[in-house]
Amino acid sequence: MKTIIPVGPYHPLQAEPEFFKLEVEGEKVTGLEINIGYNHRGHEYLAQRKTYEQIIFLVERICGICSCSHPFASVNAVENLAGIEIPERAKYIRTIIGELERLHSHFLWVGLAGHFMGYNTLWMWFWRYREPILELFELITGNRNHYAMMKIGGVSKDIEDEDISSIQKTMNELEAKTVMFIKAILDDPVIAARLGGVGILTKEDAIKYGVLGPTARGSGVAIDVRKDDPYAAYDLVPWDIIVFEEGDLLAKAKVRLLECLESIKIIRGCLEQMRKGEIETKVEDIPPGEGIGRHEAPRGEVFHYVRSDGSNMPLRYKVRAPSYMNVPSNEVAVKGYDIADAILVLASVDPCYCCTERMATLYDGNKKLTGKDLLKLSWKKTEQLKKKFSHSENKLASLL
């Protein structure tokens, strides 16, 4: 008996229309339909009516979690168009901001994944440790989110010497805790059972759908804009790309966790190598032409294309966020798995839910299930596994 279940794991909003429509037979998912547009605000249309400086503020508000990613790609695109070289200190500062953002975004995801599994300790812990990163942002840039650091030709604020020790102290703290928690998470048999072998996206499908970021790197596709097409200081400091072959949820989680450690390495490398100097070059007019800029956001490659006719507003501005490529791959990744796992699989691509959308409701069929019900199914499965492994969250809780 086929049932349709609508899902929107991020928001308990109970009204139509549907975001994800899961087709289910028995306990297994057999199909997925995706419906977006609830967040569509028309950035490309607006960008054609704004100056290049205004566009940086506009695109920053495409997404709140990866808030510097779009401005980063935007300045890369305009600088590519006009052939602008930025000073070295600006490269390091941009990289530091980008990596701090990756840290807080991955922590957010791990926390949410923990919540969806029913491991609320994980959720509270990781969200608690996001706070020092947001405080660092406030120290350096003046705001916890939407930092307005990127500027065509450089960055808008310098990192003061007296702030560097705060950054280093926070990095040390975070590194120690992250390493400890990674070991605990990977040793946990219940997490291994919930995430291992579930939601597999094969390498072939990953390539067909053009997926990006940790979703691709968890399926053996070794792409990362920071290595393939380096910009800012990513080719000036040593770091490694993290790739796993299995393609399941555990592989994606491992990629994100280990990338946190690489981000800390990059930030330390930048702080060490950074020398005093200018933080911006003077920019005159933007000549006619076209430019492409990209940035490896926490979710994958952000792509911006700009075309200029020589005036102070672009002729055409194109934005492509990574979730646009990652979310459709759920069509194949969720098929054949339990309904209880559906919510985890849909969350595993880390949809920047402003780049995709939110939820909804109740639909038909003989069974009526909402997003909250799916969450509860997931929690129930975790409880059953905990009993099977005679395990409690004590190990994780004791680390707090």
- The residue ranges that bind another protein (CB under 8 A) are 11-17, 36-42, 44-46, 49, 54, 57-58, 61-65, 67, 80, 83, 108, 124, 127-128, 131, 144-146, 207-210, 223, 228-230, 289-292, 294, 301, 303, 305, 307, 315-316, 318, 320, 324-325, 328, 352-354, 358, 360, 372
Closer residue to another protein, CB minimum distance, 36 or 182: 36
Distances (CA, A) of 178 to 248, 250, 259, 289, 369: 22, 17, 11, 45, 36
* Neighbour order of strands in the sheet with 20-25: 2-7, 20-25, 28-34
Q: What count of other Cβ atoms lies within 10 Å of the Cβ of residue 230?
A: 12
C-alpha span between 328 and 220 (Å, rounded): 18
Closer residue to another protein, CB minimum distance, 199 or 291: 291
Q: What count of other Cβ atoms lies within 10 Å of the Cβ of residue 395?
A: 13
- Residues 341-380 as b/e (b if ≥16 CB within 10 A, e otherwise) read bbbbbbbbbbbbbbbbbbbbbebeeeeebbbeebbebbbe
Work out how close the CB of 155 gets to another protein at its nearest, in angstroms, rounded to a whole number: 20
Closer residue to another protein, CB minimum distance, 131 or 272: 131
Closer residue to another protein, CB minimum distance, 59 or 345: 59
C-alpha span between 358 and 245 (Å, rounded): 30
Asked whether 282 and 85 are in contact (CB, 8 A), the reply is: no
Closer residue to another protein, CB minimum distance, 125 or 386: 125
C-alpha span between 89 and 96 (Å, rounded): 11
Work out how close the CB of 333 gets to another protein at its nearest, in angstroms, rounded to a whole number: 13
Work out how close the CB of 315 gets to another protein at its nearest, in angstroms, rounded to a whole number: 7
Work out how close the CB of 394 gets to another protein at its nearest, in angstroms, rounded to a whole number: 20
Work out how close the CB of 92 gets to another protein at its nearest, in angstroms, rounded to a whole number: 21
Work out how close the CB of 288 gets to another protein at its nearest, in angstroms, rounded to a whole number: 12
Per-position DSSP letters for 343-400, written without gaps between them: HHHHHHT---TTTS--------SSS---HHHHHHHHHHHHHHHHHHTT--THHHHHT-
Closer residue to another protein, CB minimum distance, 372 or 395: 372
Closer residue to another protein, CB minimum distance, 42 or 238: 42
Closer residue to another protein, CB minimum distance, 316 or 388: 316
Work out how close the CB of 10 gets to another protein at its nearest, in angstroms, rounded to a whole number: 8
Work out how close the CB of 203 gets to another protein at its nearest, in angstroms, rounded to a whole number: 12
Asked whether 297 and 260 are in contact (CB, 8 A), the reply is: no
Bridge partners (DSSP) of residue 297 are 300
C-alpha span between 117 and 195 (Å, rounded): 9
Asked whether the bond before 17 is cis by omega within 30 degrees of 0, the reply is yes
